[in-house]
């Protein structure tokens, strides 16, 4: 067992539950088949386990039916499928400066080709988007509103339900990037009112890397174009992509080890687990923010967020020191693993004015984080702050 403290859960959750390791060990040693492709019983069993994961996700997210959940290979792929699948020439998009590059870059690519126009909304001083600012940015040709649920730099929770409602009133689709919230906060897609919700499964859902999901509200499939075309294991006699969900969007062999690992993880990540974990992680976040706020020379971002509006992610800097130096000291001298830099969210750092510094030090909490981990981290940063001045 390692005595290192892992505080980079916003990148991926680690370590994964024992159930995931045990299931994958059996898969690799005794199985290794594809799903939905073979005429033998053991391939059908793989397909059944994929369906179990889909059904468990539908329950966890309050989706109308399991087929509304699509499997992808990452949060990035889910966001690309949603963005590239829904937008066409002449469309306008409203998004925010808090977005990850997996939203900013596909939008920039479409915009650079002259196909779409994008408006970027800034948050208030507490790092929260005011839905009225979204409303003000809307145009008659706005097709999509795309907002991150929890900023992966600031940890601030966005008012996504109000934003989805505004989008609907304006006749635009809503896409929520739930990469940092799925598995960390209870989510009900019908209550949220989103049309599309994208997330990795390897973060809060505790599945292996190489897994992502996209929730598609019933009816959106009439508008949403697939990102990939190819073999689906269904209607193979036709060269045309099938219309049915989920196969319309799941071309190519599925990541079976990833998905059956997810099925095993979802035995742990039940709706009750998410309720308990969200309360536990909120307490740890408050403990961290309170402790760090007493350290002279340490700055947290945003400056005046309420600890209760921040979930699991805290960004900081110490004086004018390069965040990479602080990250290395935490790693080498204190065995604490954090992420440093821009966290793939360049516009957030322009807004925070942390770009010249090289970004921030980011601490992110997850299912294995303990109160003692937080105490040790606060003490380490106190020591670093004092010694570096």
Nearest to 328 by CA among 318, 286, 373: 318
Q: Closest CB to ligand PLP belongs to which residue? A: 75
Nearest to ligand PLP of 96, 369 (CB atom)? 96
221 binds ligand PLP (CB under 6 A): no
Q: What is the DSSP letter of 327?
A: H
Cβ at position 380, least distance to ligand PLP in Å: 24
The residue within the footprint of ligand PLP, chosen from 68, 80, 152, 310 (CB under 6 A), is 152
Dihedrals phi, psi of 289, to nearest 5 degrees: -65, -40
Total binding residues for ligand PLP by CB under 6 A?
Answer: 14
Gyration radius from the chain CA atoms: 21
Helix, strand or coil for residue 384?
A: helix
Q: Which of 337, 81, 308 is nearest to 185 (CA)?
A: 308
The set of residues, in sequence order, having a beta carbon less than 8 Å from that of 186 and lying 6+ positions away, is 271, 274, 275, 278
Q: By CB under 6 A, is residue 312 in contact with ligand PLP?
A: no
Q: Tell me if 366 contacts ligand PLP by CB under 6 A.
A: no
Nearest CA-CA partner of 311 in 198, 210, 197, 185: 185
Of 68-76, 168-176, 359-367, 379-387, the window that binds ligand PLP (rule: CB under 6 A) is: 68-76
Per-residue x/- track, 183-212, ligand PLP (CB under 6 A): -----------------x-----------x
180 binds ligand PLP (CB under 6 A): yes
Decide: is 233 part of the binding site for ligand PLP (CB under 6 A). Answer: no
Give DSSP secondary structure letters for 113-131: TTSEEEEEEPP-TTS---H
Asked whether position 315 contacts ligand PLP by CB under 6 A, the answer is: no
> For residue 173, what are the β-bridge partners?
144
Length of the chain as a residue count: 389
Q: Interface mask (CB under 6 A) for ligand PLP, residues 100-139, using x and -?
A: x-x-------------------------------------
Residue with tokens 């290395």, as numbered in its chain: 328
Using CB under 6 A as the binding rule, whether residue 155 contacts ligand PLP is answered as: no
Nearer to ligand PLP, 152 or 317 (CB): 152
Q: Tell whether residue 13 is a contact of ligand PLP (CB under 6 A).
A: no
Give the torsion through C-alpha atoms of 250, 199, 260, 38, to 10 deg: 0
281 binds ligand PLP (CB under 6 A): no
List of residues contacting ligand PLP (CB under 6 A) = 10-11, 74-76, 100, 102, 148, 152, 177, 179-180, 200, 212
């Amino acid at each position: 067992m390692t005595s290192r403290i892992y505080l980079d859960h916003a990148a991926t959750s680690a370590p994964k539950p024992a159930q995931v390791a045990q299931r994958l060990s059996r898969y690799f040693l005794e199985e290794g088949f594809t799903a939905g492709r073979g005429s033998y019983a053991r391939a059908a069993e793989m397909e059944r386990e994929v369906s179990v994961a889909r059904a468990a996700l539908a329950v966890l997210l309050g989706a109308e039916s399991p087929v509304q959940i699509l499997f992808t290979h990452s949060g990035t792929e889910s966001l690309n499928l949603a963005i590239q699948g829904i937008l066409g020439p002449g469309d306008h998009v409203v998004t925010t400066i808090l977005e990850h590059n997996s939203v900013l870059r596909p939008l920039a690519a479409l915009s650079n080709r002259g196909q779409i126009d994008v408006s970027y909304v800034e948050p208030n001083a507490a790092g929260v988007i005011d839905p009225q600012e979204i409303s003000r940015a809307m145009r008659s040709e706005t097709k999509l509103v795309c907002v991150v649920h929890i900023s992966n730099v600031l940890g601030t929770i966005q008012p996504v339900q109000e934003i989805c409602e505004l989008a609907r009133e304006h006749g635009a689709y809503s896409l929520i990037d739930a990469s940092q919230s799925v598995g960390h906060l209870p989510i009900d897609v019908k209550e949220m009112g989103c049309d599309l919700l994208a997330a990795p499964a390897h973060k809060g859902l505790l599945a292996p890397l190489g897994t992502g999901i996209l929730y598609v509200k019933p009816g959106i499939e009439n508008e949403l174009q697939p990102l990939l075309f190819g073999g689906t294991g269904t209607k193979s006699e036709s060269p045309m992509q099938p219309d049915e969900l989920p196969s319309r969007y799941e071309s190519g062999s599925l990541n079976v080890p990833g998905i059956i690992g997810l099925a095993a993880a979802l035995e742990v990540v039940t709706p009750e687990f998410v309720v308990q974990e969200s309360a536990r992680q909120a307490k740890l976040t408050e403990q961290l923010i309170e402790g760090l706020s007493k350290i002279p020379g340490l700055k947290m971002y945003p400056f005046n967020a309420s600890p209760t509006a921040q979930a699991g992610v805290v960004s900081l800097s110490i004086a004018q020191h390069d965040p990479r130096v602080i990250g290395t000291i935490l790693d080498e001298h204190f065995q604490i693993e954090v992420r440093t830099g821009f966290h793939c969210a360049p516009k957030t750092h322009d807004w925070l004015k942390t770009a010249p510094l090289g970004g921030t030090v980011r601490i992110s909490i997850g299912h294995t984080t303990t109160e003692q981990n937080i105490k040790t981290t606060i003490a380490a940063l106190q020591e670093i702050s004092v010694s570096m001045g």
